[in-house]
Amino acid sequence: MADEVKIEDSILKDFKTLKHIKNDEMDDIFKIYINQAMQEVELYIGQDTLPDVLKGIITQMAEAKFTKAGSEGTASSSEEGLSYSFNENDLKPFFPVLNRYIDNLRGSGDRGRIVTFD
């Protein structure tokens, strides 16, 4: 649990830096988005705690959830020439990376292998 709090705090710091947010007024809301994203990824990869290597995905997912807030259920919207498209599944853009991570856990990934044809 302590490790998850450290990871959550690290992701919160990254998230706020990316959004140029200096105060703590919305930290509780941001933490909800971060925790939702962490739970989705942990469930998908089949682990109880988030590996440090996947922090970037959580930051991006939390940012997407923040952007989408108030537009839940909307596939796209357009106003005065500005349009937004939302994924139905927040994990979808990250499937390639998450699947690569899972493959590496199973030993079926390409990471760290050397192949020679001598």
Quickly count helices (H) and strands (E) in the chain. Answer: 4, 2
Do 37 and 65 contact (CB within 8 A), yes or no? yes
Q: What is the pTM of this model?
A: 0.75
Tokens of 96: 């390639």
Q: What is the largest CA-CA distance in the chain?
A: 62
pLDDT of 28-84, one tens digit each?
999 999 999 999 999 999 999 999 999 999 999 999 888 877 666 556 667 777 766
Q: Residue 77's beta-bridge partner residues?
A: 84
pLDDT of 84-111, one tens digit each?
665 678 888 999 999 999 999 888 766 5
Do 26 and 18 contact (CB within 8 A), yes or no? no
Return d(Cα 118, Cα 108) in angstroms, integer: 22
Domains of the chain, residue spans: 2-70+85-106
